Structure 1
Amino acid sequence: MDDLTLRTEADAVLAELVGAREGAARLREDQWQAVAALVEEHRRALVVQRTGWGKSAVYFVATALLRRRGAGPTVIVSPLLALMRNQVDAAERAGIRARTINSANPEEWDTIHEEVERGETDVLLVSPERLNSVDFRENMLPKLAATAGLLVVDEAHCISDWGHDFRPDYRRLRTMLAELPADVPVLATTATANARVTADVAEQLGTGGADALVLRGPLDRESLRLGVLKLPDAAHRLAWLGERLGDLPGSGIIYTLTVAAAEEVAAYLRQRGYPVASYTGKTENADRLQAEEDLLANRVKALVATSALGMGFDKPDLGFVVHLGSPSSPISYYQQVGRAGRGVEHADVLLLPGREDEAIWAYFASVGFPPEEQVRRTLSVLEQAGRPLSLPALEPLVELRRSRLETMLKVLDVDGAVKRVKGGWIATGQPWVYDAERYARVAHQREAEQQAMRDYVATTDCRMEFLQRQLDDEKATPCGRCDTCAGPWLDPAVAPDALAAARGELERPGVEVEPRRMWPTGMAAIGVDLKGRIPAGQQAATSRALGRLSDIGWGNRLRPLLSPQSPDGPVPDDVLSAVVTVLADWARSPSGWASGTADATPRPVGVVAMPSRTHPHLVTSLAEGVARIGRLPLLGTLTLTDDHPTPRSNSAQRLRTLATSLTVPPDLASALAATPGPVLLVDDYTDSGWTLAVAARLLRQAGAEGVLPLVLGVGG
């Protein structure tokens, strides 16, 4: 078949895909070049093109053409459920039968496997996490590798640990690539890869040789108008958004850096009368789907989202993207703003940086690949076990949180040092080298990216050109549209009443924190006889905190106060006053001691302070202030008998230390016996909740009839 005939056939498929009449749609030359390389030459290609370029059109058109020529199904590795839903809908328009395997549809997996084996599926979309599933890897993956007609790796920057969204599950693709027949074409696509990431992805995918086709286009987005608005504080930013959201074109996305901020901002905007919804990693799948559909149908003005709504969400007429807080990477920022303006001539992109941004960057930077001694410890535990260890069984034996432990194991799995089998993880015994130099280079690169975001905020040059250069776009030139090229179009003024309303919302104190109800699994393995459900008579009540450290209201006030590096001192007057407000609201709540209801908690009879290694004066003065204002006796302080600090690695390690070091001293035990009733337990901060759980158990065993924890800050 000559090129002209194939091109005509490809354009006809494109017309079906986009819902146009035959002859009314035509692949651009660079899209056609990619399709021809896959269908005619069966090559491996890496496509780095801006968001909205039409990467999905390439692999759907190629799929249709390959299937007509007898090829097996296309396997697309996609990172997000939103991307999968959009792509399945697009495929159906072109008569392409697409199915997806991901964490949201396990009940359909067997049926889908059977459909693939019968040749009834043209496209199988797979989440990268499936590549690390033992059953999928051992049973399904070899069959797909043997029968696939095309392998597509979408958002391929996730392969690279230099990339802004590295995912170790993606590295499993090496196995599939190694098992693919030589004539099976491979397409890797991304919009957010600089030269370093492009080279790394090409190497990881095996596309670094002479046969590789790399298609890299200009990354300017002609529809986007970029701007930065520097406002004094979180209240001004929230007030400005509350006043101006209705002026932004169409519907859009408001990005925040944390879950707490997303929920906080969404609640405020709803109070201001805007139809908005929050969208985070904690949002239930059904609620996510509804939120996406509402935004696609313009039933909401905006989704207030974390990065959970990122790659792949496709709304061509999205009119704006606003960031309340700077992402830590200009590449990540470019990827997120790329949601806007894909099918409209003009869209607004606004960045409202905050002073809390860098503290949030620092937190995420602290959970990278663990130090060598922690990795070696994990390998040693697996080697000595002599049997597979599940994550819950392994976690108590190492000093890593489960999510970080799982990520590390996936990297070690790809490196060959461990293997995931039925029942858990085992050590392979193969030599493994800790690539300290590489990890240090990655950390240095992250620091450089953070500095680049600071520079982006401060630059007086073209903002689009700045982002293009961060992505090594050789064709970067001034855009003529942004606030530095064409001048600011945003009025930073905020009406006094709007500012007062925003400040009142942010300064409203009080967060409920559910208590721990189950002990961690595997405690017997480290010598602690605690398991199963915590008896009701040993549990703490639902706690109250002044605020979350991750929110943009009280979080900004509490972070510097509670930092381990901050000087110790008495509780500030404004903080104590806010705590008293929290207590008053607690007392008047439906189950509070002042509510007058039948199930009300009895009024506390006294105050107990937690010991603190970093802020003893702060905690003591807080407990004294609460006791004085509440006219309650200060019964005493629990004691830490061990000089070793409580580890902040994982639940099991924290609990082991607390179980042997936290005690009720005799004078406090006597005071509890002489003052029957519930007590207020005062502390500065809670994160995992285990300190409060152990303290509540001890106090109730010593005679307290209830424990009501009250803290300044809560993590998360």
Structure 2
Amino acid sequence: MNDLEKILQLKFGLSSFREGQREIIDSVLNKKDTLVFMPTGGGKSLTYQLPGVVLDGLVIVVSPLISLMKDQVDKLNNLGLRAELINSTIDNYDKQIILNDISKNDGSIKFLYIAPERLNSDEFLRIIERVKISLVAIDEAHCISQWGHDFRPSYMKLKGFLERLKLNNDFPIIALTATATQKVRADITLRLGLVNPAIFTTGFDRKNISLIVREISKKEEKLEKVSEILEKTPGSGIIYCSSRKNVKEVYDYLIGNGVSAGIYTGEMTGDNREIEQNNFMDSNYKVIVATNAFGMGIDKSDIRFVIHYNLPGSIENYYQEVGRAGRDGKNSYGVVIASFADTKIQEFFIENSYPTKQEIVDFYNYLYRDFSTGEGAGAKILKTYFVMASESGIVNDLKVGAIIRVLEKYNIIKRGLDDFETPSDFRGRGIILLQAKQNPASIKIDWSHQEALKAESYYKLEQIKKLLFYPSCRKKFILNYFADEEDLKKIGDNCGSCDFCIEKKNLGKQEVIDIVKISVFGLILETVKKFDTKFGIQTFVKFLRGSNDKKLLEWNMDNDQNYGALSDLTPELIQAVIEALMSLEYLYKSDGKFPLLGITETGRLAITKDFLLKNDNEELQTYLKIRLGTKSLYKKESNPKEKKEKVDTYEETYKLLKLGNSLDDISKLRELKLITIESHIVLLYSESKLGLSDIMKYTSFSKLKIVKDVINKELNGIVSELKPIKEKIENLGNKDISYFDIKLAIAMIDKKDL
């Protein structure tokens, strides 16, 4: 047994290191700046606490989480390692005792936990500069990044603090977080001034937590599913809801059904929140229903399930909250019972969290309305967000809070007054105007960065939608998102612990029946290529179904040869086909609130190289099967009698045609528009199911020749839309040539039959 393992056992009472801990500790002990990305409950605290025992000097731990500070300090003191904390819960008398003991520089205090807001007080800096520092640990390091999901302006002062300490000390810095994308990681390194940091990403595969997604939109069905989970799952759990209204709704339902439940929201008083949290921690409640205000610093080992009643806002939030289950290593569950409609709730939060430039300027003018240019610095405003929302015309107090945070970030205002400045009858925090009034055009706010932050939030929303609503291995998606390469290598083809992989495994050797023909995938690729990045998914769905949507008709899209080509398919199926093509990167969606559908180079290639779609057909069909959940579309090899082929819409038209029916007859028999049947004829000819003699019954060589001449001579052989061709033909006096004639001519040109 080496020295580190002895310390692990003797000081911390642990028998072995968790995965990745030893390597991180070695890095710190070698005095290297270190970045650690490890999920909640993965054992981050040990990676700086154990080095703190080995190294000579004081360990400073910067953390924004008051409850977590107290928990860590209590645990260290119980282990015989003196630890203290300085934050808003410590009065001046106790703080002075702590600072006096630190100033002795005798090692009596080994760990000091401190809130970032307290770092730059002159008194603290005077003392800490004379103390031997062994290590500085920055917990929740993502808070320093403006790209992070929990940016805190107070963290921006850390770099200056660290540089000042380094003048008299040589110590490593370890920055830790449970959630950080590549962009956030680069930001952390830059803003903390880390020098060639060793980077560790580990433990994001929470092997004992099964991730389950159930798409449910109706309130009654959601509540029934919650009851079912509670009945079947022993132990305690957390139910996260996106709004206080939903929290109350779920809480009342559970109480009404005799479930011992707690409730926790940010609007509750501090005392009530503490009572509810303690009751949950002491297992007086089976479950606690909460907004995302609950959970920071919670370390309850027997949480067996975390339910998301609504769509989480980002993968970072989702995985951090799920990670509160199964801390003891036993099997636990993360269940999402949201629906795609929940997207609207998150879009509402984004729109109100990132106000427009005009809204910020309007509110700025409201704050300074009683002052002339050059006046107002130091003025205090004692009004609640609700009052300011009403008076300013912003209306929404949620948006007012967001505007105030932006103004505070750029040091235009400061939230909160000192206690002696706040009237006893005022219940708000108050605002101090830090700058004198100036022309709004001169306000120093990085507007482009504000827009980029909003776009980043929409990107994160799109990623959580992909994780939860697109059929794929949930765990692989998460590991890719957090760039956990080591766990990705180990997970294999089937993680075995998410609903997608479990269902895929249960299918066994079942053979996939084509839910749609390969030609449908090809038709959609052709359509997207034609209107590349012009429309969103729903517009394409409406177009392919032949919708009479007003915009489609205004844009004359009803004259396109593919309009209504998939009119007999449901909107859900067409959307699923598009998503399947996106999952294999034939198509893609742009970022932002209104993403547009585009085609990739692979998608363009697949239009002419049909082997690409043929090679991926089984995976595409499997995607549709799991996405749509229609088990009857599968057949088992062992029982050929159970084979059930889906009717091919083109094949059905072909059969009726061969029986001698006219196109009008087929349209009536199939209850489809004539334009749809005409599109079937064009496609059947393109796929060589119909020959030249078959289609010449519906057109004439003279008409086809005119179309070809117009395309070659008037349009330089370029075909992007049908309408310009029709207009050119009519201008030449040929009004009897239909769109059907044009479609047939284009198909014949493509096949070199014309």
The question of a shared fold, defined as TM-score above 0.5 by the shorter chain, is answered with yes
Counterpart of 1:31 in structure 2 is 21
The separation in 2 between residues aligned to 1:233 and 1:142, in whole angstroms, is 60
Q: Higher relative contact order at CA 8 Å, sep ≥6: structure 1 or structure 2?
A: 1
Preserved contact between residue 146 and residue 179 of structure 1 (Cα < 8 Å):
no
Counterpart of 2:41 in structure 1 is 52
Counterpart of 1:332 in structure 2 is 317
1:283 has 2:291 as partner: no
Structure 2 counterpart of 1:392, from 379, 382, 387:
382
Counterpart of 2:628 in structure 1 is none
CA offsets 1:324-348 (integer angstroms, 9 cap, x no match): 1011111211111011122223111
1:13 has 2:7 as partner: yes
The structure in which a higher percent of residues are strand is 1
Preserved contact between residue 317 and residue 343 of structure 1 (Cα < 8 Å):
yes
Structure 1 segment 636-655 matched on structure 2, within 5 A: none
Structure 1 pair 144/412, CA: closer, same or farther in 2 (3 Å)? farther
1:203 alignment partner AA: L
- More displaced, 101-110 or 335-344? 101-110
The separation in 2 between residues aligned to 1:192 and 1:370, in whole angstroms, is 25
SS in 2 for 1:484: helix
Counterpart of 2:123 in structure 1 is 139
1:262 has 2:220 as partner: no
Structure 1 segment 608-687 matched on structure 2, within 5 A: none
Larger Rg: 2
Structure 1 pair 325/461, CA: closer, same or farther in 2 (3 Å)? same
1:176 has 2:164 as partner: no
Counterpart of 1:577 in structure 2 is none
Structure 2 counterpart of 1:125, from 113, 125, 135:
113
The structure in which a higher percent of residues are helix is 2
- When the two structures are superposed, what TM-score results if normalisation uses the length of structure 1? 0.59
The separation in 2 between residues aligned to 1:290 and 1:215, in whole angstroms, is 37
The separation in 1 between residues aligned to 2:12 and 2:248, in whole angstroms, is 36
The separation in 2 between residues aligned to 1:123 and 1:158, in whole angstroms, is 21
2:186 alignment partner AA: A
Counterpart of 2:463 in structure 1 is 452
Preserved contact between residue 249 and residue 347 of structure 1 (Cα < 8 Å):
no
Residue 273 of structure 1, CA deviation = 1.6
The separation in 1 between residues aligned to 2:175 and 2:203, in whole angstroms, is 17
Preserved contact between residue 163 and residue 197 of structure 1 (Cα < 8 Å):
yes
1:460 alignment partner AA: P
Residue 255 of structure 1, CA deviation = 0.9
The separation in 1 between residues aligned to 2:219 and 2:24, in whole angstroms, is 46
Structure 1 pair 387/291, CA: closer, same or farther in 2 (3 Å)? same
Counterpart of 1:187 in structure 2 is 174
Structure 1 segment 687-702 matched on structure 2, within 5 A: none
Counterpart of 1:315 in structure 2 is 300
2:109 alignment partner AA: T
Counterpart of 1:427 in structure 2 is 435
Structure 1 pair 398/60, CA: closer, same or farther in 2 (3 Å)? farther
Residue 38 of structure 1, CA deviation = 2.6
Structure 1 pair 252/180, CA: closer, same or farther in 2 (3 Å)? same
Preserved contact between residue 128 and residue 169 of structure 1 (Cα < 8 Å):
yes
Counterpart of 2:220 in structure 1 is 235
1:127 alignment partner AA: A
Residue 369 of structure 1, CA deviation = 4.8
The separation in 1 between residues aligned to 2:255 and 2:84, in whole angstroms, is 36
2:285 alignment partner AA: V
Structure 1 pair 391/127, CA: closer, same or farther in 2 (3 Å)? farther
SS in 1 for 2:303: coil
CA offsets 1:10-37 (integer angstroms, 9 cap, x no match): 33333255434xxxx2335732333233
Preserved contact between residue 201 and residue 483 of structure 2 (Cα < 8 Å):
no
Structure 1 pair 250/213, CA: closer, same or farther in 2 (3 Å)? same
Preserved contact between residue 305 and residue 332 of structure 2 (Cα < 8 Å):
yes
1:367 has 2:347 as partner: no
Counting matched residue pairs gives 467
CA offsets 1:454-493 (integer angstroms, 9 cap, x no match): 2222222111112222223334344211111112999xxx
The separation in 2 between residues aligned to 1:452 and 1:127, in whole angstroms, is 32
Residue 266 of structure 1, CA deviation = 2.0
The separation in 1 between residues aligned to 2:354 and 2:215, in whole angstroms, is 34
Structure 1 pair 123/405, CA: closer, same or farther in 2 (3 Å)? farther
- More displaced, 144-153 or 420-429? 420-429
Preserved contact between residue 244 and residue 291 of structure 2 (Cα < 8 Å):
yes
SS in 1 for 2:61: strand
- More displaced, 312-321 or 278-287? 278-287
The separation in 1 between residues aligned to 2:180 and 2:124, in whole angstroms, is 30
Residue 78 of structure 1, CA deviation = 2.0
The separation in 2 between residues aligned to 1:109 and 1:369, in whole angstroms, is 38
The separation in 2 between residues aligned to 1:225 and 1:65, in whole angstroms, is 38
SS in 1 for 2:205: coil
SS in 1 for 2:150: coil
Preserved contact between residue 103 and residue 128 of structure 2 (Cα < 8 Å):
no
Structure 1 pair 145/346, CA: closer, same or farther in 2 (3 Å)? farther
Preserved contact between residue 150 and residue 186 of structure 1 (Cα < 8 Å):
yes
Residue 428 of structure 1, CA deviation = 9.0
Preserved contact between residue 19 and residue 203 of structure 2 (Cα < 8 Å):
no
Structure 1 counterpart of 2:256, from 271, 280, 284:
271
Residue 146 of structure 1, CA deviation = 5.4
The separation in 1 between residues aligned to 2:89 and 2:184, in whole angstroms, is 30
The separation in 1 between residues aligned to 2:417 and 2:476, in whole angstroms, is 48
- When the two structures are superposed, what TM-score results if normalisation uses the length of structure 2? 0.56
CA offsets 1:571-609 (integer angstroms, 9 cap, x no match): xxxxxxxxxxxxxxxxxxxxxxxxxxxxxxxxxxxxxxx
Preserved contact between residue 79 and residue 155 of structure 1 (Cα < 8 Å):
yes
Give the unaligned 5+ runs of structure 2.
422-431, 507-754
The separation in 2 between residues aligned to 1:243 and 1:26, in whole angstroms, is 38
Structure 2 counterpart of 1:300, from 275, 285, 288:
285
1:190 alignment partner AA: T
Preserved contact between residue 418 and residue 427 of structure 1 (Cα < 8 Å):
no
